[in-house]
Structure 1
Amino acid sequence: MTLSILDLAPISSGKSAADALRNSIDLARRAEAAGYRRYWLAEHHFAPGVASSAPAVLIALIAAATTTIRVGSGAVQLGHQTPLSVVEQFGLIDALHPGRIDLGIGRSGRRRAELAAATPPAEPPQARTVDGLLIPPPFDFSRLAKHPHLAHHATLLQQPGAQTPDFAGQIDDVLAFLAGAHEAHAVPGEGADVEVWILGSGGGQSAQVAGERGLPFAAGYHVSPSSVLEAVEAYREAFKPSDDLAEPYVIVSADVVVAETEARARELASPYALWVRSIRTGAGAMRFPTPAEAAAHEWSREDVELVKDRVDTQFTGTPEQVVARLRTLRRVTGADELLVTTITHDHDDRARSYELLAEAWDRP
């Protein structure tokens, strides 16, 4: 199977974090039965509607509840932890579930600072279609990165006065600890059979580091659809073969909602825009609303523009419709795998979406 899952452990309106975590464990078991290749957990903080704040803990719980599916992070934010602590955490999980753990790593803190300092282009690019794949104009993350809530949150995620080291050096430390080539020894962790991934949203340092070190790379079409082609191209151009990887290996993510009918899929996906709005206004992901709750929101033109790139690139419909769009995404990006993320208010609808997709994916 060349489909994998990214789970945020979403909390629905009227539900608790405990409900969300139990749902994630249930979904992982159902994903394994459906044949998905990987089950990755995101890292989010200060979000009322997301329960995946400690991915290593949740990975351990899900690995214990499954037997064959690979389980990993999408991604651990290295700006908030030291390479040693990350290797120890994932080495501990690998000790009990050897050969099944993926360590996906993101830049986080330094990336936020770069976004806050960025200057939007005088004339933003227009939406374009590349061989059937929509590439929307880039979202201006600089305004969101400057939000006072996010600045305050950043201080809570690190010790006072701490500064995030260069990302490339951090990755080198992670690899050295795992290989036993560091002057200090990570126990557990040293010698762990952990697959290291780099996650990125553009053609910057994450793509460069992944390519230069011969690591697999995950590009976020669902987070930053405007720059997905730039990201995979930069990674491939920078790629150098390593002991573990002879050729570039890319996974690309997509937001997906599948149902038996297009109308039902659109109904299930209808709260998505309001949920994205809550993130992009700096409030943090809200508890995922019901379609009726979402319909009550009065949308301004500014609201619509705020979420347009994410809404327009969500793949929603019947299994056949969504599979066709996913195959386009895979063809245009040259992805080796696709990483699918689905959020609906009702857990059974979400699980059914994944099951319908898996059933349709391998049909001729």
Structure 2
Amino acid sequence: MIALSILDLSPVPAGGSAAQSLRDSIDLARHADALGYRRYWLAEHHNLANIASSAPDIMIGQIAAATRNMRVGSGGVMLPNHAPLAVLERFKVLEALFPGRIDLGIGRAPGTDHVTSIALRRRQDIRDEDDFLDRFQELLLLENNGYPKDHPFHSVHAMPNDVALPPIVLLGSSDYSAQLAAQIGAGFSFAHHFAGHDAEHAMRLYRDRFQPSERLKEPLAILATAAVVAETPEQAERLASTIDLNFVRRAKGVYAPLESPEVALAYDYSPIDRERIRKNRERLAVGSPAMVKARLTELATATQADEIMVTTMIHDHAARKRSYSLLAEAFSVAPSRAMPQPQPAAAG
């Protein structure tokens, strides 16, 4: 049976607060852990009124402390925003505190608009060109002590240096990250929920070109996709109307908090809006548990995904929890035996 995981952006509903959305993420993570989901990943976005998830490393620590079974990780850390050494040290600290439960998902995009991306990096060496590969190579060289002896960074060690870096998964929405992940023997997660590129091609390319590494002997292919599940198709369609309006607004450069189904259903959509919704619905699984299971199973088979990672960006937190419950039940997901938690060291 295909494994299920969760990608959480900590959505902010209209009339709610970002602070409550972050607390809701911890509540949802506890719920998912009890249901038997395999991973729980936190996104990194900035300057968006509808997304509260701006610091995944902080949320990973909070959620790992509140759960016992799931792996917890970043979906992902947007490497253009961070010094590679800082990323290494943050995730080594997380791995030290929660050994064997942390994932380091890394993305190429800044997760925001151009001006905000400059504000995030204004004290760094900002370049106009894409410097992701340079930053990623620096991260690997620092972790593996790969700099030559005459290089200034040869003596730099990411601390704690007696803790291995968690598994790396590259995120992507095209072939680029798929090929890079395959080349270095890392995991790969494809963003089907917003990608215009063909998911099947990217996922198969990764699997076909995968080269085993010390960290990963077999490919790990994760398909991130959007889904809304309710007891009936009609109820699911109503909940998904929030996603429709959010997508239409995004296409116009509006990133407002998520509206309720009542507001979304009453919105005066233009013909262009409705065509945008129709196209976006091709990436979105909506319906009863049986309907969504069939759609996700079809996607997993076509892409040869090892896992399906589901994101559900709807207005009501209780309905979001219920959607994940129904999905877990449809796939016969069961909780695993609790993992032992590390005990704090005694004061010396």
Indicate if the aligned counterparts of 1:101 and 1:193 stay in contact, CA closer than 8 A: no
Instruction: Note the 1:200-349 alignment, pairs <5 A.
Output: 200-204=172-176, 206-284=177-255, 286-349=256-319
Secondary structure (helix, strand or coil) at the match of 2:46 reads coil
In the aligned structure 2, how far is the partner of 1:302 from the partner of 1:170? 40
What TM-score comes out, normalization by structure 1 length?
Answer: 0.83
In the aligned structure 2, how far is the partner of 1:167 from the partner of 1:53? 19
Matched with 1:192 is 164
Instruction: Note the 1:137-216 alignment, pairs <5 A.
Output: 150-159=113-122, 162-163=126-127, 166-181=131-146, 183=154, 184-188=156-160, 191-204=163-176, 206-216=177-187
Whether 2:105 is the aligned partner of 1:94: answer no
CA distances 1:195-242 after superposition (whole Å, capped 9, x unpaired): 1100010112x1121010010100111111542123213323432111
In the aligned structure 1, how far is the partner of 2:97 from the partner of 2:265? 46
In the aligned structure 2, how far is the partner of 1:40 from the partner of 1:302? 33
Indicate if the aligned counterparts of 1:88 and 1:186 stay in contact, CA closer than 8 A: yes
Matched with 2:12 is 11
Range moving further from structure 2, 318-327 or 216-225? 216-225
CA distances 1:87-125 after superposition (whole Å, capped 9, x unpaired): 11111211211111100001115xx9xxxxxxxxxxxxx
In the aligned structure 2, how far is the partner of 1:29 from the partner of 1:48? 25
In the aligned structure 1, how far is the partner of 2:171 from the partner of 2:276? 24
Indicate if the aligned counterparts of 1:92 and 1:189 stay in contact, CA closer than 8 A: no
Question: Cα distance, 1:349 vs. partner?
Answer: 0.6
Indicate if the aligned counterparts of 1:225 and 1:309 stay in contact, CA closer than 8 A: no
In the aligned structure 2, how far is the partner of 1:81 from the partner of 1:308? 37
Identity, % of aligned pairs? 43
Indicate if the aligned counterparts of 2:289 and 2:326 stay in contact, CA closer than 8 A: yes
Indicate if the aligned counterparts of 1:91 and 1:190 stay in contact, CA closer than 8 A: no
Question: Cα distance, 1:359 vs. partner?
Answer: 1.0
Matched with 1:133 is none
Secondary structure (helix, strand or coil) at the match of 2:297 reads helix
Question: Cα distance, 1:165 vs. partner?
Answer: 6.3
Question: Cα distance, 1:68 vs. partner?
Answer: 1.8
Matched with 1:352 is 322
In the aligned structure 2, how far is the partner of 1:96 from the partner of 1:103? 15
In the aligned structure 1, how far is the partner of 2:251 from the partner of 2:116? 15
In the aligned structure 1, how far is the partner of 2:280 from the partner of 2:28? 24
Long gaps (5+) in structure 1 = 113-148
In the aligned structure 1, how far is the partner of 2:130 from the partner of 2:146? 20
- Pair 1:51–1:190, CA change in 2 (3 A): farther
Range moving further from structure 2, 274-283 or 87-96? 274-283
Indicate if the aligned counterparts of 2:50 and 2:257 stay in contact, CA closer than 8 A: yes
Indicate if the aligned counterparts of 2:42 and 2:56 stay in contact, CA closer than 8 A: yes
Secondary structure (helix, strand or coil) at the match of 1:270 reads helix
- Pair 1:203–1:165, CA change in 2 (3 A): closer
Question: Cα distance, 1:178 vs. partner?
Answer: 3.5
Long gaps (5+) in structure 2 = 148-153, 334-348
CA distances 1:9-29 after superposition (whole Å, capped 9, x unpaired): 001111001110111000000
Matched with 1:143 is none
In the aligned structure 1, how far is the partner of 2:201 from the partner of 2:162? 34
Indicate if the aligned counterparts of 2:181 and 2:206 stay in contact, CA closer than 8 A: yes
Residue type of the alignment partner of 1:170:
R
- Pair 1:82–1:189, CA change in 2 (3 A): farther
Secondary structure (helix, strand or coil) at the match of 2:213 reads coil
Secondary structure (helix, strand or coil) at the match of 2:228 reads strand
Indicate if the aligned counterparts of 2:194 and 2:283 stay in contact, CA closer than 8 A: no
Indicate if the aligned counterparts of 2:95 and 2:163 stay in contact, CA closer than 8 A: no
Matched with 1:58 is 59
Give RMSD over aligned pairs: 2.0
Indicate if the aligned counterparts of 2:229 and 2:287 stay in contact, CA closer than 8 A: yes
| Count of aligned pairs between the two proteins | 323
- Pair 1:193–1:100, CA change in 2 (3 A): farther
- Pair 1:11–1:240, CA change in 2 (3 A): same
What TM-score comes out, normalization by structure 2 length?
Answer: 0.87
In the aligned structure 2, how far is the partner of 1:58 from the partner of 1:279? 25
- Pair 1:240–1:97, CA change in 2 (3 A): same
